[in-house]
A and B are shown apart, each in its own frame.
Chain A
Amino acid sequence: MITIGVDVGAKNAKLLVLRDGEIVGKKSRESGFDQETVTNELLAATLAEFGIDRDEVTGICSTGAGRKAVQYAGDKITEVTAAARACFELYPDTKTVIDVGAEEGRAIRSGERGKVEDFAINEKCAAGSGAFTEAMARALEVSVDELGRISLKSDASVPMNAQCAVFAESEVISLLHARTPKQDIAKAIHDAIASRIVSMTRRVGLNKPVVLVGGMARNVGFIHSLNTAMQDEVRIPDAPEMIAAYGAALVAAERAVVAATETGASGPG
């Protein structure tokens, strides 16, 4: 059985193909303004590249902020459900999923078979997302990757306000004026976001093991700060930004099986 998960985020659209539970292909591109066209093209390109016929695809499930733009998706689920489902598949003993993307951070308490038992999403006025690191990197005139790398060089602990992004930004500027080394500021920024994320995660209970997904799971500085704040090593999947698409593909497969059982038809393959 082939199913597809499509995750349409604010920045990128990601597509993942699953054949009998195995990932056989993935592809992503910028989601742009016309998400409908982009996701159509993405599907066509993926099918062509991996030599899959459209009729072979049993189910397609979309997720992400732009999931409704995916006209060909039979199922639509939110990123919360998708992330929890995928993390269960990768690490069946997952208790908590932390998902930090460009726009928001989420914490999910994962129950049996990846069922979402409770979730929290960072509120407005919070410095707990990838966009915050981008803004801070700009203030420091470094790339986001560099921000992560240089912060690992610091073992200083500069307190910074993590409650409000605006306040935090002015603190960064204050630190720059005070000639604080960039690496220390970078660490302070990651510590602040990590503190914010841990703070939010405590709302659903900080139960271990914890899996970190989303774009920020690529940021080595953030990972270090998060591990320190939690006094634990978070697990990070190989392609943390593909997790939602993977979860969506898994859900599509499950629903196809359920539908097949209900109608009495036998599943393909």
Chain B
Amino acid sequence: MAVHKTAPLKCWKKAKELREQYYRDYASAHERGGIRWTGGAWSFDAIPYGLGDDVYPLTGEPYAASIAFNREFSLECLEATEAKGWARDLCSYMRNYWGSMYLNRFLFGGPYPKPNFGFQDHICCSHAKWYQVVSEHEDFPYFSIDVSVGPYEEVRDDPHKIRYIVDQMHEAIEFMEQVTGREYDDEKLIEAVKNDCRSTSTWAKICELNKHVPAPLEEKTMYSLYVFGTLSKAKKEFADFYDELYDEVRERIEQGIAAIPDERCRLMSDTQPPWGFLKLFRYLETYGALSIGSLYTFGLIGNWETKPDGSWGARTTPMELGVEIDSRDKALEVLSEWTLSRPEWQHFYDPTLKTKMMAQIAKEWHVDGVMLHLNRGCEGLSCGIMQNRNGLVDTGLPVMTFEGNMGDEREFDMGRTTTRIESFMETLGLQPLETA
């Protein structure tokens, strides 16, 4: 008794190809005389693009999430890391990545492709240590940018904080020139910064469309789409893809196409999911429930702002505002300021900032309940999560928690989690569709 039309995304195939191409390009970059670098999804990836058009990143988090999705290989990786003596409760992305390195096996075939350099930022302790260890093991030069400047609301009006980051970026460029022997091209940097702003703003616009009832997208699908922002926000092809995706999602709404046929309950999640168990989201559908997204899928790579009417929407890009980006320094300044405004990072400083954003999402996206993944795999995104829970409960939202790990399946119990979801569904007054 489907109420809404559903249809697969037309650009799904292209998304799949783009992602495969990304890893293939990285692995084969050296054959074409190109440059490989590795770092985090949060790295200022626009900067290395100034070294040329043949620069390819490997960002650790989505790579590790892909490993986690492959449960057999993931276990091998985790065990290889533990065999070296590392603690089991460290960041599970990091442990998967390290394992792939220790085993000298690249998930997409061949040996671990050694980069020319590492380029990271220090958003959490694990991020910083991650590539300290990798660069020592693989013996490559490594640069990291410290972003310890506080939440955006304090950065906005304090030029010295932006300057601190810009100064480090200038130093990073010198470092890259030195280790690659290439001359840096500011024009390419400027283009990359614009692509970064465009892709991250467009992703937010796509997420905004999910305010619509019924939702045109559900979160499991969104995971496969937001990934481009984590692979390389500044890559032109990815920014273009988001433009295309935006048009298609808008079209879905116009044509009345929904993500699931019987949308009865709209949920919101939090933190990275247990990647090996995404079927959890399919299980929700048996109750006519879906996750419309989360601060994580919306705000890890999407840039947002509060609109004049008080609603939350995609941040207006510097290009739309007519900001002239005409020099290296200006480009770096724009890049710093833009990046620091990203929502899914503010709570590293203060959980109340996150609670406020989550409550706003709940309101504007018509959320009926919240599922918080107490994620043992990530100290950063789990930071303050119990305070978030309390804050959301105070607003009157039903909230459930389930414990797990984004990248270590040994810490996730599918049976107990589904039981917990069932209890939660019962508290929301829902019964499975077949028996309803």
Q: Which of B401-433 contact A (CB under 8 A)?
A: 401, 403, 411, 413, 415-416, 419-420, 422-423, 426-427
Cβ contact within 8 Å between A121 and B420: yes
CA distance in complex: A121, B415 (Å)? 14
The complex places the Cα of A116 from the Cα of B399 at a distance, in Å, of 12
Q: Smallest Cβ distance from B142 to chain A, in angstroms?
A: 34
The answer on a CB contact under 8 Å between A117 and B374 is: no
CB proximity of A137 to chain B, nearest CB, Å: 24
Complex CA gap A119/B423 in Å reads 9
Q: Are B411 and A117 in contact (CB under 8 A)?
A: no
A124 interfacial contact with B, CB 8 Å = yes
Name A33-55 residues within 8 Å CB distance of B: none
A81 touches B426 (CB 8 A): yes
Is B253 interfacial (CB-CB < 8 Å)? no
Interface presence of B391 (CB below 8 A): no
Of A75, A116, A118, A124, the contact of B413 (CB 8 Å cutoff)? A124
Shortest Cβ distance from residue B296 to the other chain A in the assembled complex, whole angstroms: 20
A117 CA to B393 CA, complexed, in Å: 10
CA distance A77 to B426 in the complex (A): 8
Contact present for B423 and A78 (CB under 8 Å): yes
Please indicate the chain B residues that have their CB under 8 angstroms from the CB of A119 in the complex.
Answer: 400, 423, 427
CB <8 Å contact, A78 and B422? yes
Nearest chain A residue, comparing its CB with the CB of B422: A78
Instruction: Determine the chain A residues whose CB is within 8 A of the CB of B415 once the complex forms.
Output: 65
Query: Chain B contacts of A75 at CB under 8 A?
Result: 435
B261 within 8 A of A: no
The 10 A-B pairs at the shortest CB distance, nearest first, are namely: A80-B423, A78-B423, A123-B403, A116-B427, A81-B426, A78-B422, A78-B426, A124-B403, A78-B419, A77-B426
A256 at the interface (CB under 8 A from B): no
In the complex, what's the smallest C-beta–C-beta distance from B384 to chain A, in angstroms? 15
A120 at the interface (CB under 8 A from B): yes
Contacts of A121 in B (CB 8 A): 416, 420
Bound CA–CA A124/B88 (angstroms): 14
> How far, in angstroms, from A79 to B420 measured CA to CA in the complex?
10
Q: Give the residue name and chain of the B residue nearest to A124 (CB).
A: B403
* Alpha-carbon distance between A115 and B398 when the two chains are bound, in angstroms: 13
**Chain A residues within CB distance 8 Å of chain B:** 65, 75, 77-81, 104, 115-121, 123-124, 203
Given A65-B419, A78-B419: A120 in contact with B401 (beta carbons within 8 A): yes
| Cα–Cα, bound, A123→B382 (Å) | 15
B393 and A118 within 8 A (CB): yes
Check A116–B403 contact: CB distance below 8 A: no
Closest residue of B by beta carbon distance from A205: B393
B411 touches A124 (CB 8 A): yes
The residue that A116 contacts in the complex, of B386, B393, B411, B426, with Cβ under 8 A, is B426
B426 touches A117 (CB 8 A): no
Alpha-carbon separation in the docked complex, A75 to B432 (Å):
11
Q: How far is the CA of A104 from the CA of B423 in the complex (A)?
A: 14
| Cβ B374 vs Cβ A123 within 8 A | yes
With A123-B374, A124-B411, A124-B413 already in contact, the answer to whether A117 and B401 are too (CB < 8 A) is no
- Which residues of the partner chain B approach A77 to less than 8 Å between Cβ atoms? 426
Report the Cα distance A264→B385, complex, angstroms: 48
Measured CB to CB, the nearest residue on chain A to B405 is A124
* A116, B423: Cβ atoms closer than 8 Å: yes
Shortest B377–chain A CB gap in Å is: 13
A/B interface sample: 15 pairs, CB < 8 A: A75-B435, A80-B423, A80-B426, A81-B423, A81-B426, A116-B427, A118-B393, A119-B423, A120-B401, A121-B420, A123-B374, A123-B403, A124-B403, A124-B413, A203-B386
Q: Which of B386, B420, B427 contacts A117 (CB 8 A)?
A: B427
A59-B349 Cα distance, complex, nearest whole Å: 53
Q: In the complex, what residue of chain A is closest to B429 when comparing beta carbons?
A: A115
Q: Establish whether residues B426 and A118, one from each chain, have CB atoms under 8 Å apart when the complex forms.
A: no
Residue of A nearest to B398 (CB): A118
Cβ–Cβ contact A118 & B401, under 8 A:
no
CB distance from B366 to the nearest CB of A (A): 21
Using Cβ atoms and an 8 Å threshold, which residues of chain A touch B435? 75
**What residues of A have a CB within 8 angstroms of the CB of B427 in the complex?**
80-81, 115-119
Contacts of B416 in A (CB 8 A): 104, 121
Alpha-carbon gap, A116 to B177, bound state (A): 61
Cα–Cα, bound, A262→B93 (Å): 52
In the complex, which residues of chain B have a beta carbon less than 8 angstroms from the beta carbon of A116?
423, 426-427
CA distance A178 to B157 in the complex (A): 60
Residue numbers in B under 8 Å from A81 (CB-CB): 423, 426-427
- Give complex CA distance A123, B398 in Å: 19
For A123, the chain B residues whose CB sits under 8 A away are 374, 403
Cα distance, A119 to B411, chains bound together (Å): 21
Smallest beta-carbon distance B432→chain A, Å: 9
In addition to A78-B419, A81-B423, A124-B411, 6 A-B residue pairs with Cβ atoms within 8 Å of each other are: A65-B415, A65-B419, A78-B426, A80-B427, A81-B426, A116-B426
By beta carbon, the residue of chain A nearest B400 is A119
Closest to A65 in B: B419
Distance in angstroms from A92 CB to nearest chain B CB is 19
Minimum CB–CB distance from A200 to chain B (whole Å) comes to 11
